[in-house]
Amino acid sequence: MNFESLLTITGNTTKESQNSIEDLRLNQILDAIAHHSKIDKNQLRKTLYERLTDRKDIAHRQNILRDLEKTDVFTAIERFSLGITKVFEFLNKSNKERFKITKQGWFLEAVSEYVSTVERVAIELSEEQLESEGLKNTVEYLKAYRNSQRFERLKEELKTAKSNLDSIQFTVNIKENKVFVNKVDGEKNLNIDIENLLSRFIEDDLENVELKLTQSPVLTNVEERIVEYVQKINPEPFQYMESFFETHQEFIDKGIRQFYEELDFYLAFLEFIEPLKNEGLSFCFPEIVEKGERIHCKDGFDLALALQLQKDKQRVITNDFYLDRGEKLFLISGPNQGGKTTFARMVGQIFYLALLGLKVPAKESSLFICDHIYTHFEKEEKVENKKGKLEDELLRAKKILNLATERSVIIINEIFSATALEDGYFLAEFLIKKILSKGAFCVFVTFMHRLAELDSSIVPMTSTVEPDNPAVRTFKIVRKSQFEKSYAIYLAQKYCLTYECLKERLKNR
């Protein structure tokens, strides 16, 4: 039986330009996810920079991720992954060790972890809990492997080897510089006796003493000699261990290994979003719709900014948007430093992450599969003169217009801002008309708010300030509409001390 990939069905992927990736700060996000790899950060990074193009593949990954979000499934899979990671750790230790009894000891630990990990996952993961084809196939594979003769034999022999070693008991007596190793001979347990004696003084909540216990990371010479004497007292278990070691060098199954490696993508992502979720941020599976249908997003946020703010223990502001049929372009204006660029990045990030088959930073979202995401952000490098900068901007704009199709997403941030206002309007108007005629979906951030009047398919949006204090940005980007309230009640509401709010708070006390 062959193991079927959890990452792809068709094998098709494509890449976005490095320019788009950086403008959208996707590099920060993808690298942060890759950082959570338990196996190989570079390999995972590579997977994250290749995004899907096929609806089937997106559904394949989304379904697997959905399954993994069920607590019982996740627990089972996470334990499996941690288990196999441990297997490799133990094997690595075994390979490095020179003292035979320890070398074989680590090998035994590796096999033991492997056997119990495989058995556990085969029990804990059942088809009834699963909806994804990907994981259902995996379960079938796991069951077949667990019942195979090869695995049965490994398990049996391991059991014998371990219980042999486990049954050995001995005493050690250390007096000054002499060490005596002996068989057990009727000695009494000191701890049990004094615990009985002293328990009346001990309470459960006493602070525990922080004892410093050093242990040499490798087997010491003294331990080696003690263990050698233990072997002399009781040689048979050690002989069995040796032959087990020789026989089972290649015990890891290929399919198990691939399963383990492909899980990394999903587990790293889930681990990555966990702390953000705990801060109250939402992630959702985007609904994939046809191009031209209504797309929307509720409580979306700039994931790169959220990561940055997380370090400062701050919470990112979320934003909503929707684009109805017939609407094509968000024209975003309003006060500076009001979250416009952040909003634009958020849109691009949501598209990209959806195309990885992952969840997106929003409470709800629907969008289409785009062919590419093109970005045009203001470059901050030193430009010799205005003409040079404008030329560069125009060249980049032209390139986008050449490549973009009806299925593209175009994100333009503060274009032509350094040129004379009249020129700026003229150029921007030209650009917008071109984009509209292509039929692409565009987010256009600009201070030239009059551009909104060009066409009915343009949706004007604005960054906002607090009604009472215009100096305070809300970082909310909204379709133009607002409302205001009296100050005292506004304040009382802020602390949830109005009658309705307070009554709700106190209801179930």
Question: Is-contact 250 114, C-beta < 8 A?
Answer: no
Residue closer to another protein (CB basis): 175 or 254: 175
Residue closer to another protein (CB basis): 202 or 422: 202
Which residue of 43, 53, 85, 102 would you call a contact of another protein, by CB under 8 A? 102
Of 34, 56, 22, 63, the C-alpha closest to 359 is 63
CB of 101 to another protein, least distance (A): 5
| 203 lies in the binding site for another protein (CB under 8 A) | yes
Q: Which of residues 204-243 bind another protein (CB under 8 A)?
A: 206-216, 219-223, 225-227, 229-230, 232-233
Query: DSSP 3-state assignment of 52?
Result: strand
| 507 lies in the binding site for another protein (CB under 8 A) | yes
Residue located via tokens 């004696």: 197
Mark residue 167 as left, alpha or beta (left: phi above 0; alpha: psi -120 to 50; beta: remaining).
alpha
Q: Which of residues 150-169 bind another protein (CB under 8 A)?
A: 165-166, 168-169
Which residue of 82, 101, 289, 401 would you call a contact of another protein, by CB under 8 A? 101
Question: Is-contact 411 373, C-beta < 8 A?
Answer: yes
CB of 232 to another protein, least distance (A): 6
Backbone angles phi and psi of 478, in degrees to 5: -130, 155
Of 170, 153, 135, the C-alpha closest to 266 is 135
Q: Classify the C-alpha dihedral 51-56-59-65 as positive or negative.
A: negative
Rounded CA gap, 286 and 303, in Å?
A: 15
Choose the stretch contacting another protein; rule: CB under 8 A; options: 41-49, 57-65, 100-108, 451-459: 100-108
CB of 436 to another protein, least distance (A): 47
Q: Which residues pair with 297 in a beta bridge?
A: 321, 365
Choose the stretch contacting another protein; rule: CB under 8 A; options: 27-35, 71-79, 199-207, 251-259: 199-207
Choose the stretch contacting another protein; rule: CB under 8 A; options: 115-123, 319-327, 375-383, 494-502: 494-502
Q: Which of residues 457-486 bind another protein (CB under 8 A)?
A: 486
The single-letter DSSP state of residue 489 is H
Which residue of 98, 128, 185, 313 would you call a contact of another protein, by CB under 8 A? 185
> Angle CA(68)–CA(69)–CA(74) in degrees, nearest 5?
55
| 190 lies in the binding site for another protein (CB under 8 A) | yes
Residue closer to another protein (CB basis): 83 or 334: 83
Q: Which of residues 252-281 bind another protein (CB under 8 A)?
A: none
The Cβ of residue 113 has, within 10 Å, a number of other Cβ atoms equal to: 20
Mark residue 402 as left, alpha or beta (left: phi above 0; alpha: psi -120 to 50; beta: remaining).
alpha
Cα radius of gyration rounded to whole Å, the chain: 32
CB of 469 to another protein, least distance (A): 10
Kindly write out the interface string for residues 364-403 of this chain, putting x where it contacts another protein by CB under 8 A and - elsewhere. Answer: ----------------------------------------
| 93 lies in the binding site for another protein (CB under 8 A) | yes
Rounded CA gap, 261 and 259, in Å?
A: 6
Backbone angles phi and psi of 354, in degrees to 5: -60, -35
Using CB under 8 A as the binding criterion, the count of chain residues that bind another protein stands at 85
